[in-house]
Amino acid sequence: MLTATQHDIIRATVPVLRTYGESITRAFYASMFEAHPELYDIFNPVNQVNGRQQRSLAGSVLAYAANIDRLDALGGMVERITHKHGVLEVQREHYPIVGHYLLGAIRSVLGEAATPEILDAWAAAYGQLAEILHGREAELYAAEASTPGGWTGFLPFRLEQRVAEGTKITSFTLRPEDGRVLPPFLPGQYISVKAQPPGYPHQQIRQYSLSHAPNGQFYRIAVRREDSTSADVPSGLMSSYLHDTLQEGGTLLMHMPLGDLVLDNSDRPVVLLSGGSGITPVLAMLDHLSSPSGGTRQVVFIHAARNPQVMGFADEIAAMAKRRAGIEIVLVLEEDDGSLTLAGEKVTGRISAELLRQHLPDGAEIYYCGPPGFMTAAETALDTLLVPAPRRHSETFAPDQSFGDGIDHARPRAVSVR
């Protein structure tokens, strides 16, 4: 429990974190990985190189400091982090390691400004946060163990089928090797897969959204190939492994589904808005909403793609739209050569406020997902249209950069690192 003085110290460090937070998290990761290289197992090296992981952690720490006196405001952040930790199998014994190197990084970056009082306050604050996170994670692990068909840790799955979905994305259908009936999941959730890419010294864990409604038989993920964009940024380790190495009949270790980007339980209209490979979680939602058990809510499915060649799942989307009335399909293409036919409306251009204005039903719940550039455009459009934060539900396929002093905690967000 923090003392009143320690609360004051944490609040007083907010401006310092805003200025030096990313430097602190860079020093933290460097020192921790040097001492514990085995932790590379659970971190995406591309996100270390491009700085997204460091910025995400810095924002999370800043949000925690800014709300140290009203921790209830951190509910959305805590839920996101614990679901991510859950699929990584983070345990209580990991927290002291992180705390040790985080405090060391604060001391290293701030120098003499990091007084014993400041370090003691942050040690207490970190201990408080660790207990909050571990408590929620323990609940998730207990739920996994008690779910019929559920399991703890990682279970072997056999790759039954791989299908090219456009020029960049491949879908992978996997069944448990022991033949068990799979537990249900909520459309929008993701799984973790674990493997050791050839020539790499560590296992890697990645999260991929499930791209179908629950069926008890198999899990299907869709993976975008992440090619190198420069000499300093390597190709995606796991996306390369899945595309180039894992063949039908091969084995992949998988964790039970988790994730807090899920459909609300109401009869309000639903807008499913996606860009690029962000189609996967909303595709699962569309699959559910178009099924007999999905109700009769009005659904608008809007997907943005660069061109028809990279557009995946077109036939599947068309089939879902035909299952019942009340489902509208809108495809937004930057470049359209006319090669793609899809029941619904096609628009040439990009996501904008004017485009969304034409298709957003009154009072709709909006679920949107995609890469950072798409998410920025979607957020800007929704801001322009004055869509209230409680009706926005989002996931970005990178470490979340949104945490910070001005974070709107009423807006649920989820994180998937691809």
Which entry of 22, 137, 165, 365 is annotated as an active-site residue?
137
Please classify residue 358 by burial: count the beta carbons closer than 10 Å to its beta carbon, then call 0-12 exposed, 13-18 middle and 19+ buried: exposed
Q: How far apart are CA 231 and CA 244, in angstroms?
A: 21
Q: What is the pTM of this model?
A: 0.84
Strand order from edge to edge, sheet including 155-165:
204-209, 190-195, 251-254, 155-165, 169-176, 219-224
| 38 assigned to active site | no
Mean pLDDT by groups of 10 residues along the chain of 418 residues? 92 91 91 87 66 80 87 81 88 92 94 94 93 92 91 96 91 97 95 91 90 95 84 78 95 95 93 93 96 94 92 90 95 88 84 95 95 92 95 72 38 33
Q: How far apart are CA 247 and CA 162, in angstroms?
A: 8
Contacts for 226-235: CB closer than 8 Å, 24+ residues apart: 226/46, 226/418, 232/49, 233/46, 233/49, 233/50, 234/45, 234/46, 234/49
Q: How far apart are CA 155 and CA 232, in angstroms?
A: 34
Q: How far apart are CA 286 and CA 282, in angstroms?
A: 6
| 137 assigned to active site | yes
pLDDT (0 to 100) of residue 190: 94
The radius of gyration of the chain from alpha carbons, rounded to an integer in Å, stands at 22
Give the Cα-Cα-Cα angle 190, 193, 196 (nearest 5 degrees).
160
Alpha-carbon 382 to chain mean position: 20
pLDDT (0 to 100) of residue 372: 86
pLDDT (0 to 100) of residue 49: 63
Answer yes or no: are the C-beta atoms of 254 and 192 closer than 8 Å: yes
pLDDT (0 to 100) of residue 292: 93
Whether the CA torsion 347, 350, 356, 358 is positive or negative: it is negative
Tens of pLDDT, residues 39-70: 877 776 666 666 677 887 888 888 888 888 88
Looking at residue 116, its amino acid is P
pLDDT (0 to 100) of residue 48: 65
Which entry of 20, 29, 64, 95 is annotated as an active-site residue?
95
Question: Could you tell me which of 209, 193, 140 has the C-alpha nearest to residue 396?
Answer: 209
Q: How far apart are CA 284 and CA 210, in angstroms?
A: 7
For every residue of 5-28, DSSP letters joined together read HHHHHHHHTHHHHHHHHHHHHHHH
pLDDT (0 to 100) of residue 404: 42
Answer yes or no: are the C-beta atoms of 155 and 253 closer than 8 Å: yes
What are the structural domains of the chain?
Answer: 4-146 (1.10.490.10), 155-254 (2.40.30.10), 270-387 (3.40.50.80)
Looking at residue 373, its amino acid is G
